[in-house]
Amino acid sequence: MTEERRGRSQTVGAILPRIAGKALGKNGLGEATLIQHWSEVVGERLAESTSPDKLSFPRGARRDGTLKLRVAPGIALEIQHSEPVLLERINSFFGYRAVARLSLEQTWQPRQSLPPRPPPLTAPQAADLRQRVAPVRNNDLRAALTRLGAAILAIERK
C-alpha cells in the first residue's frame, strides 16, 4: 500500500472501497445515496418514471460503471437522447466519473417508498458546514462534500 501513495493523490471514490470493504456491502455506498437522491439528480419529472436499479463497475475498478435504470416504456427514448446530460448530472452527484453509460430496462415498477429523510440541518450546523467546504474550489466536489457532511451530521443527531 505504501507504493500506491508515493507522490500522488487519489480520489476518495478510488480508495473508499478498499477502506470500507464489507461495511458498504456489495454495491457500495454510492448506489444507496443515488437512489435516495434520484429526484434531485434527474429532476422530478424523470424520477417519476425512472428508477436506478444497479450500478456495476468493470472488475477491480470503481469508475466508468454502467447504471441500469428501470424505465417506463414511454420514456425510454427520451432517456436515450438525454443520456449525456444525465451522465453529467449523475457523475456530478458522485463527484467523479462513476458512470460511463446507462442501460435501460423497460420494466417499470413504481418507486417503493424510501425511508423518511432526516430533518434539515439547523442554521448553525448549515453555516458551519458551508464554512468548512468553502475552500474547495471545484463546485461539484464542494456539493458532494456538503451532502456527505449533512448526512454525517444527521447521523450524529440520532
Average pLDDT for the chain: 79
Q: Is 13 within a domain?
A: yes
Percentage of residues of the chain with pLDDT beyond 90: 20
Q: Is 71 within a domain?
A: yes
Whether residues 147 and 95 fall in one domain: no
Residue 51: its pLDDT value, please? 87
Residue 48: its pLDDT value, please? 85
Whether residues 34 and 85 fall in one domain: yes
pLDDT band per the 50, 70, 90 thresholds, residue 16: low
pLDDT band per the 50, 70, 90 thresholds, residue 46: confident
pLDDT band per the 50, 70, 90 thresholds, residue 111: low
Q: Give the bridge partners for 67, in sequence order.
A: 55, 102
Whether residues 136 and 81 fall in one domain: no
Domain enclosing residue 46, as ranges: 2-105
Is the pLDDT at 104 greater than 60? The verdict is yes
At 52, which CATH number?
A: 3.30.300
The kind and range of the H/E element at 88 are helix 83-94
Whether residues 98 and 134 fall in one domain: no
For residue 81, how far is the Cα from the chain centroid?
Answer: 21
Q: Is 117 within a domain?
A: no
pLDDT tens digits for range 120-154 = 888 999 999 999 999 999 988 898 888 888 888 87
Whether residues 84 and 127 fall in one domain: no
Number of domains in the chain: 2
Whether residues 101 and 151 fall in one domain: no
The CA distances from residue 47 to 27, 42, 94, 95, in Å, are: 21, 6, 18, 20
Q: Is 114 within a domain?
A: no
Is the pLDDT at 43 greater than 90? The verdict is no
* Residues composing the chain: 158
Q: Is 118 within a domain?
A: no
Whether residues 132 and 101 fall in one domain: no
Residue 72: its pLDDT value, please? 87
CA gap 46, 38 in Å, rounded: 9
Q: Which residue has the cell 434520484?
A: 38
Percentage of residues of the chain with pLDDT beyond 70: 72
Q: Is 66 within a domain?
A: yes
